[in-house]
Amino acid sequence: MNISVLGCGRWGTFIAWYLDRIGHKVILFGRENSKNLEELILNGKNAYLSLSKTVSLTSDLEMCLNKSSTIVISISCQNLREFISEISALNPANKIIVLCMKGIEENTGKRLSEVVEEYVPSSTKVTVWVGPGHVQSLVQGIPNCMVIDSKDTNVKSLLVHQFTSNLIRFYYGTDLIGNEIGAAAKNVMGIAAGALEGLGLEPLKGALMSRGAREISQIIKAMGGNEISAYGLCHLGDYQATLFSQHSNNLQFGKSLITKENYGKLAEGASTSKALTLLSKQYKVDLPICSTVKSLIEGNLNISKTMENLFLRDVKNEF
């Protein structure tokens, strides 16, 4: 396949590396002023991997759209609306757009596929790529499992077959709402896990995992998705990578809330906690962990007392 990957950060560059590695013709896009793109052009590598010379590097967005039938987007979620409006102006008709990013639009509570569908023609098929994995592990050959989901069954089948390899096994997603919400929400749980670690309350991660998955299953159900999706690869299946791995930006960000240090890297769970709190009110679903994380980020709570009490609420049945 001819594929353009838009976004040359850690994950976008890995996607280009991976798709090139399994035989596709890949173009990797970055902005003209992108330090990531400059590093790749100068050195052919970044801190995580080396790119093959068969991967084309460019800052020409129009060329990317003209030369590729499949467009993979991997950028900061909160910048998606502005970016997709720019893409829309270049007429992306009859394309497959793959969103390899996990988040919810902060100010509207919209899923990322919903944002894209506002701007692209009906002939353009929107899909999502979710599931666990860190670049650091994958480039070492440590395999993982992920999910591709879309409203279009044929496109979903095509991408699962074209993207699957010995390194990443893809499953067919069957719940676009659940997969998008679940994938975004696991980052919020990652921040909570980091706060617990920072407070020396790591044993409470078990309760966080159990109650967190249940909490997210309820909002997925209220939004019209399948609550079981919260226990799949998009959410619970991604907990190891997000709640335990030291490569997790959200985990490290959560720790920084305790140490009062400026973490400095993107933690998508911060904006997602705000979006989920918005959805909590809209769908009248209690999301105590998500709302607590939001308040912690905003500095509105006593961190130590709040994190201890979060799992010691009024006595009630577990289920």
Q: Which of these, 119, 123, 125, 124, lies nearest to 89 by C-alpha position? A: 119
Angle ∠(170,120,150) on CA atoms, nearest 5:
25
Q: Phi and psi at residue 68, in whole multiples of 5°? A: -125, 140
Q: How far apart are CA 171 and CA 156, in angstroms?
A: 10
Q: Which helix (H) or strand (E) holds 73?
A: strand 70-73
Q: Is 22 helix (H, G, I), strand (E, B) or coil?
A: coil
Residue type, 173: G
Q: Which of these, 152, 143, 139, lies nearest to 113 by C-alpha position? A: 152
Q: Which of these, 271, 306, 315, lies nearest to 288 by C-alpha position? A: 306
Q: Which residues contact 295 (CB under 8 A, 6 or more apart)?
A: 301, 306
Q: Is 178 helix (H, G, I), strand (E, B) or coil?
A: helix
Q: Which of these, 12, 144, 135, lies nearest to 74 by C-alpha position? A: 12
Q: How far apart are CA 190 and CA 203, in angstroms?
A: 14
Q: Which of these, 8, 129, 120, 122, lies nearest to 65 by C-alpha position? A: 120
| 95, 156, 186, 205: the active-site residue | 186
53 given a catalytic annotation: no
Q: Which helix (H) or strand (E) holds 193?
A: helix 176-198
Determine the distance from the C-alpha atom of residue 154 to the mean position of all C-alpha atoms in its chain, rounded to a whole number.
23
Give strand ranges (E) for 133-239: 144-150, 168-172
β pairing state of 144-150 and 168-172: parallel
The residues that are catalytic are 186
